[in-house]
Amino acid sequence: MPLKARLFASILLAVAGVAFAQGYPNRPIKVVVPWPPGQATDTVARVVTDKMGSQIGQQLVIDNRPGAGGTIGSDFAAKAAPDGYTILAGSSGPISISPRVQKVPYDPDKDFEPICLMASTAYVIVSHPSFPAKDYGEFVAALKANPGKYNFASSGTGATAHLAAELFNSSVGIQASHVPYKGSAPAITDLIAGHVTYAFETVASVLPHVKAGKLKAYAVSSPARSIILPELPTIVEAGNVADFDVRAWIGLIAPTGIPREARQRLAAECQKAVQTADVKEKLLAAGLEPDSLPLDQIAGYLRKQGERFGEVARQAKIRLD
C-alpha cells in the first residue's frame, strides 16, 4: 500500500475510534453472570455495574445464565459479538480453574480480554471449635504428626476451595483425606457438626460462623491480612511458607475483539465505581474485599492464577473429564 494510502487509512481508523469512544455506549450493556442470583459473583456484579450505569448514563443489565459451575454462561459470553455490549462477570471457578481440570468449550486466555477486577476474597482455614489447636502453628503440627488421620471438606472436587486446600497441604507437608460436597453450604454444615476436621472456605462464607464461635479460624490465604478478619495472620506470616496467595477473584471480562475504546471506557468506569465509598461498604458487608489492578496488569494476574491452579491440579491428579 502506498504511503499516502496508509496514512489516509490510519487517519480514518483514528477518527473512527474517536467517534466510537464519544458514542459508546449508546444502548444498554448486557452483563452475563454465569451463576444464580445471590451468589457472590452476582452480588458483586450488581453492586458495581449499578454504579457504573449511573456514571455512564446507560443501564448495565444483569443476565443470569447459571449451570455447570459457571461454564455455560461463560461460554455464552465467549461467543457473543465482541462489540462492547455483551460482557461477562468472570470469576476464579469458570475462568481460572475449570479449564485446567476439565474440557470446556472456551479458552479463557484466547477468548476473553480482561476489563477490570471488582472484588476478591481470601480463603480461611477453619475447623470445629473442639479441635485441639489454639493457633495456626499448633494446627499444622497436629496434622503433620498424624498423617492420614484427619480429613478436609470442600465445595466439590476441582473447586477453588479444594485446590486451595491441596496447595496448602502440599506446601506444609500435610497428608489428609478429601471429602467433597455439592457446594460450600453442606460442607460448612458438616464441619460445624464435627463430621470433618477442617476446610478452606471463603471469608464471606465462614464469617458469621467464626463470629458466632461455631468455627475456629487459624489463618487466611491472601498475601496481606484480610480487612474483614484482621486478627488472623496470613499463612506466609504464620508459617514456613515463602509464597502463598490464593484468592477467589471476581471481575469483568469481554469477548476477544472488543473495541479498544470500549474496553478502556469500561475499565475506567469500573475502577472508579469500585473506589466509591458506597460500593466498598456494600462489598465489605457481603464479606468481599474491593479489589482492582491497572488494566495492563490484569491479564498477567489472571494467567498466573490459572497456571498456579493448573499446577496444583496436575500434582494432585485432579481431572473431572
Q: What are the tens digits of pLDDT across the range 28-87?
A: 999 999 999 999 999 999 999 999 999 999 999 999 999 998 999 999 999 999 999 999
Query: Pick from 238, 256, 279: which residue ends a domain?
Result: 238
- Cα–Cα distance between 20 and 17 in angstroms, integer? 5
Q: How far is CA 172 from the centre of its chain?
A: 24
Q: How many CB atoms lie within 10 A of CB 37?
A: 11
Query: Cα–Cα distance between 15 and 259 in angstroms, integer?
Result: 14
In a domain, 321, yes or no: no
Alpha carbon 206 to chain centroid, angstroms: 17
| Residues 265 and 275 reside in one and the same domain | yes
CA dist 91 and 304 (Å) reads: 14
pLDDT at 13 over 80: no
Domain assignment present for residue 168? The answer is yes
Q: Are the beta carbons of 200 and 125 closer than 8 angstroms?
A: yes
Q: Burial of 106 by CB count in 10 Å (0-12 exposed, 13-18 middle, 19+ buried)?
A: buried
**Is 126 found in the same domain as 115?**
no
23 located within any domain: no
E-state strands within the chain? 29-33, 60-64, 86-91, 112-127, 151-154, 177-180, 198-202, 216-220, 247-255, 289-290
pLDDT in tens, 174-196: 999 999 998 889 999 999 999 99
Judged against a pLDDT cut of 90, whether residue 278 lies above it is answered with yes
Per-residue model confidence as pLDDT tens digits over 121-143: 999 999 999 999 999 999 999 99
CATH number at residue 281: 3.40.190.150
Q: Is the pLDDT of residue 21 over 70?
A: no
